[in-house]
Copies of this chain bind each other. A is one copy, B any other.
């Protein structure tokens, strides 16, 4: 489309001037991230420090995340429930490591209904304690196990350096909480849910996460083992995108979660918890985005296809045909949207590029006469393709999964190109400046701290797929722990 084909500048056209991105991920990743969040209308800061407003386009991505995860949770036998936002302060203190981990981040309600409360109420930072108490009431015998619960909720953790989606005082998440008869069953659950997260990350978010166990220093406060999925962002940093914890009998002891076994003897339950939050939206932005803005995997795109009518005023059939095409696509299960806004096509093209829509379809009067549309992709297709009306739905249904694979392959190549096994300290320090370093580590927390002080990098996980092997610690030279190499990186 040339400029002469465009409709006259509308009253809103001056918006286009501040529409585009002025930062690139290469030059200033942090500024680029903030611009995308704002300009793609994903979210913004709320009035209270560290809170966020999730705008409709961003929230739709969260709804799609929820639907995909929730289906997987139900398919693996979990039921949703809802537990109170307010937790008596005394609950939080019952599990010693838990309170130590969360105390600095708590928000506390001291007044309500015009009076000072007798016992302050903590705004939940996570719900192990209040759900533990409920489970101790609900579980009587081995017949009640496993108890497989999940809740979708908001949680609050006071953040000193907030950043939209990545670290916010309030965020949205799901938290699974389950109780089991023994360690084996609880560990099976912990790893099943880790697998659900890996599946979601790869097959919906198109992020080739590395899954593995956290080192003791990086565990959840109160967990015996913590497992994680770690995605590589386009600045080479890691983003922990979901965690699954085996809590042993720590919370069962603190909240008296016991059952009668088959021999009618009381036993402590083994519990787990696992969560994915609105951080995942930050991961999607930073794993796929580019200098033009957001790049969305089809599974999380509010609009998978946007149809832009061109010069609809020259032929009224242009708009109605665009609507008809959208209806057909919707009937086939595709999230299609027609952009009828009174704006120039160029504005719309830039806007949907910035918003990361996978496929754009243009339709003008001449296209209509010739019975085709003009299709372009946000990535992975040079130029434009003409597609006959009759072929379009079938084409899109094939194209969307291919586009997903393209993003996943691209992210995998990027991850692999920026991941290196290193055995010497200088190589390690250089590698974590731009990517993941896979190295031997002695397992001592002082040595972890020392690495963090020197490079900002932390152990992200002991990768599940890592090959059993031993060597000298990349920092101190002592014998390696964990039986395999550890993934180190700077992280969000």
- A→B interface (CB under 8 Å): 11-12, 46-48, 51-56, 59-60, 62-63, 79-88, 91, 103-114, 120-121, 123, 130, 133-134, 141, 143, 149, 153-154, 156, 158, 160, 169-170, 172, 342
- 28 interchain pairs, CB-CB under 8 A: A11-B143, A12-B143, A46-B83, A46-B84, A46-B86, A46-B130, A47-B91, A48-B84, A51-B84, A52-B84, A54-B81, A55-B81, A56-B149, A59-B79, A59-B82, A63-B80, A85-B123, A85-B170, A105-B113, A106-B113, A107-B113, A109-B109, A110-B110, A110-B111, A111-B120, A112-B169, A123-B123, A143-B342
- Contacts of A130 on B, CB cut-off 8 Å? 46-47
Q: Give the residue of B108, B133, B160 whose beta carbon is less than 8 angstroms from that of A111.
A: B108
Q: A107-B112, A111-B120 are in contact. List 19 more A-B contacts (CB 8 A).
A: A11-B141, A11-B143, A12-B143, A46-B84, A47-B84, A52-B84, A59-B81, A60-B79, A62-B82, A82-B172, A84-B170, A85-B85, A85-B156, A86-B169, A103-B114, A106-B113, A107-B109, A109-B110, A154-B154
| CB neighbours of A12 from chain B (8 A) | 141, 143
CB distance from A124 to the nearest CB of B (A): 10
A84 proximity list for chain B (CB < 8 A): 46-48, 51-53, 170
Q: How far is the CB of A52 from the nearest CB of chain B, in Å?
A: 7
Residues of B within 8 A of A114 (CB): 103-104, 106, 158
User: Do A109 and B112 touch (CB < 8 A)?
Assistant: no
Cα of A83 to Cα of B43 in the assembled complex, Å:
10
Which of B54, B80, B154 lies in contact with A56, CB distance below 8 A? B80
* Chain B: CB-nearest residue to A158: B113
Taking CB as reference atom, which chain B residue is nearest A46?
Answer: B84
Q: How far is the CA of A89 from the CA of B114 in the complex (A)?
A: 13
Give which listed residue, B52, B86, B113, contacts A48 with CB less than 8 A.
B86
Contact partner, A112, options B91, B108, B111, B153, Cβ 8 Å: B108
Chain B residues with CB below 8 A from A54, complex form? 81-82
Give complex CA distance A55, B112 in Å: 26
A109 → B minimal CB distance (Å):
5
On chain B, the residues within 8 Å of A82 by CB distance are 53-54, 59, 62, 172
Residue among B46, B56, B109 making CB contact with A123, cutoff 8 Å: B109
Closest chain B CB from A131 CB (angstroms): 9
Check A83 against B53 for contact (C-beta < 8 Å). Answer: yes
Chain B, residue nearest A106 (CB): B112
Q: What residues on B are CB-neighbors of A88 within 8 Å?
A: 47-48
- A207, B35: Cα distance in complex, Å: 48
The reply to whether A158 and B83 contact each other, CB–CB distance below 8 Å, is no
Residues of chain B contacted by A56 (CB below 8 angstroms): 79-81, 149
Give complex CA distance A284, B53 in Å: 33
Taking a contact as CB atoms under 8 Å apart, the answer to whether A47 and B123 are in contact is no
In the bound complex, residues from chain B placing their C-beta under 8 Å from that of A85 are 51, 85, 123, 154, 156, 170
Q: Which residues of B contact A153 (CB under 8 A)?
A: 154
Complex Cα spacing A89 to B11, Å? 38
CB <8 Å contact, B112 and A158: yes
Inside 8 A of A149's CB, which chain B residues have their CB? 56
A85–B110 CA distance with the chains assembled, in angstroms: 16
